[in-house]
Chain A
Amino acid sequence: MLAIDPQGVSFQGQLWEHVRFIVLDRTAQRVIDGYRDGGPNQVFCDVTKRRVVARVVIEATPDLAEPPALGTEGTLVFERAPNASGIGRSRVTVDAVVTAVLYSVSRSGKATQTVELRAVSSDPGEDPVMVSAV
């Protein structure tokens, strides 16, 4: 999931301003492959361990707030819309743990802060990312 210029971004109830992008990457952490005798082709594949990583890209300004410490757990909330009209806006809620805070500076001198978080779920059978219509 990619949210460009998301609105109302907060973590642990603290509002995060100047957020330019939020990316939610989903990757398989354990893939089970299976074959049967009698042919070369795979007959079974399942993903039994998954990971959702959120990256929040914030434009660095002089008043940039101190980022949360690594290991901090909280709820990341933001709103995204498929177009400028706001029609189809949805709220995304993710319980997550901060795993990295990174900075980069472009040639033009603009700096960004990227906060990386791993989504966690209290129920292993439930998707940690909840999307609801606004």
Chain B
Amino acid sequence: MAARFDGQEIFGDGPVAFREEGPEQLVVSGLALFDELFGYAYALGLRDFRVVVTGRLVGSSYSLLDSRRDAFRSRVTEPLTMGQLSDGLGGSWDEMSLISYLENGSVERGREWSVGYSATFHRFQVAQ
């Protein structure tokens, strides 16, 4: 089964890897919070859960690759939408929102057209 987000195979059939981030406390220095010069830091609470997906979109033509990039970008929405994220290997995460799609490098052309990306999915604890 292919990896999916909200029922759509936006990752295509190219290379893809899923990485969970957290749990993690959000720690901020006292200097940033209160303008104090001591070395204290403050734990403000658990950060929201994230899944970072890195991969490569691949197409046999530039237009096909571009349509796959557009399909991915269109899921970074305002207002946010939520969906189930599935890695296609049995792992799944509910109520995730795609908050960023960033390409790491230019479009490359060899036998195929392709571009690397990093996408971050966020589970908000507070309704947005």
Residues of A within 8 A of B (CB): 30, 32, 34-38, 43-44, 46-48, 124-125
Complex contacts, B114 vs chain A, CB 8 Å = 32, 44, 46, 48
Q: Are A44 and B14 in contact (CB under 8 A)?
A: yes
Q: Are A38 and B56 in contact (CB under 8 A)?
A: no
Complex contacts, B14 vs chain A, CB 8 Å = 34, 44
- The CA of A43 and the CA of B13, in the complex, are separated in Å by 9
Complex contacts, B88 vs chain A, CB 8 Å = 38
Residue among B18, B55, B110 with the highest chain A CB neighbour number at 10 A = B110
Complex contacts, B108 vs chain A, CB 8 Å = 30, 32, 46, 48
Q: Are B18 and A37 in contact (CB under 8 A)?
A: yes
Q: Are B15 and A48 in contact (CB under 8 A)?
A: no
- The CA of A47 and the CA of B112, in the complex, are separated in Å by 9
Q: Are B109 and A125 in contact (CB under 8 A)?
A: yes
Chain A: minimal CB distance from B110 (Å): 4
Residue among B15, B17, B88 with the highest chain A CB neighbour number at 10 A = B15
Q: Are B17 and A37 in contact (CB under 8 A)?
A: yes
User: Given A37-B89, A38-B89, is A48 in contact with B17 using a C-beta cutoff of 8 Å?
Assistant: no
Q: Is B87 an interface residue (CB 8 A)?
A: yes
Q: Is B99 an interface residue (CB 8 A)?
A: no
Q: Are B111 and A36 in contact (CB under 8 A)?
A: no
Chain B: minimal CB distance from A40 (Å): 13
